[in-house]
Amino acid sequence: MSIPKRKMVAVSVATVWTKPESPRPMDELALKYPAEIREWLGHMTLEDKLDLCLENRVQTQILYGTCVLEVEEVAKEGKSWSKVLIPQQGTRKDALGYPGWVPSCQLVGEVKALVDTKRAEVISDKAWLYKNSTERLIELSYLTSLPVLGETEAWVKVQTPEGEGYLKANDIRLIDGPIAPQDGEVHIGRGIVEQGRRFLDLPYLWGGMSSFGYDCSGFAYAMHRYVGILIPRDASDQAKEGTFVDKEQLEPGDLLFFAHEEGKGAIHHVGIYAGDNQMIHSPETIKSIEIVDLSTFNLAKEHCVSRRYWK
């Protein structure tokens, strides 16, 4: 294997495909530069969304400005594709990061000079990146993070993969070092749950890692990332790390895992314990993020283990 090249994601949300042949003609909207994520989701029927999972088309997603490692580039049917590893998304599939394929047009060379500076992170559900005070560029997902170049009361100037841009100050938080609990938040686990509640009724998306749509483990991953905790990308890996928690000791923010064969088989789902015997989760393609009572939850008998990543 050649030496990986460091690249940055240059579209609002880059969908990571299993192989270059995985996308369907209808997925062209997600393959473009810029990617049209809203339009792509809006054009798909329920059956189309189910097919992303059933045919193993999509692996994960990456947000604008995220650094990846490009390990291979190939041409398929007139389109250039890059095999990438995503260091921020831990997985047993590859020690260097989550693997998959993205259109090469959605990546640019890394901006090296600003790696360790203060960052602006989107904490609105979504936020527009502006070219100036009036001209919009692209709509960004929750938790998109970009280096800061300057600040005013109303605007934050940021370094993007393609130059300079502006974010509204009330859409972001400034991060300069480890993330501390928010004012008045003494229980980090409850903070995880409260962030999750913001996305109630957001439709599920297989492989989803953005506020345009999450899958079950992507939802757990993102809510932990908000409080400064990086957990593995997939439920099967999430269930093997963190601290084991007895059912009687569950607290809000703990992760509940569910496995086939009434808890004895392969893990297939994860949710976040919300307290009072309830769970918030992104359930499946035909549903949206919801809170359920565990005593009547249809997968209750499949609960196999619980883990805690917060302290």
Give the Cα separation of 120 and 293 in Å (integer).
36
Give the Cα separation of 58 and 51 in Å (integer).
10
Please identify which of the residues 67, 224, 260, 269 carries the catalytic annotation. Answer: 269
Annotated active-site residue 281? The verdict is: yes
Q: What is the dihedral of CA 248, 249, 254, 258, to 10 degrees?
A: -30
Give the Cα separation of 165 and 162 in Å (integer).
9
Q: What does the block give as tokens for 241?
A: 């790390």
Give the Cα separation of 298 and 302 in Å (integer).
9
Annotated active-site residue 216? The verdict is: yes
DSSP 145-159: EEEEEEE-SSEEEEE
3-state secondary structure of 219: helix
Please identify which of the residues 67, 224, 281, 304 carries the catalytic annotation. Answer: 281
Please identify which of the residues 216, 224, 303, 304 carries the catalytic annotation. Answer: 216
User: Annotated catalytic sites, by residue?
Assistant: 216, 269, 281
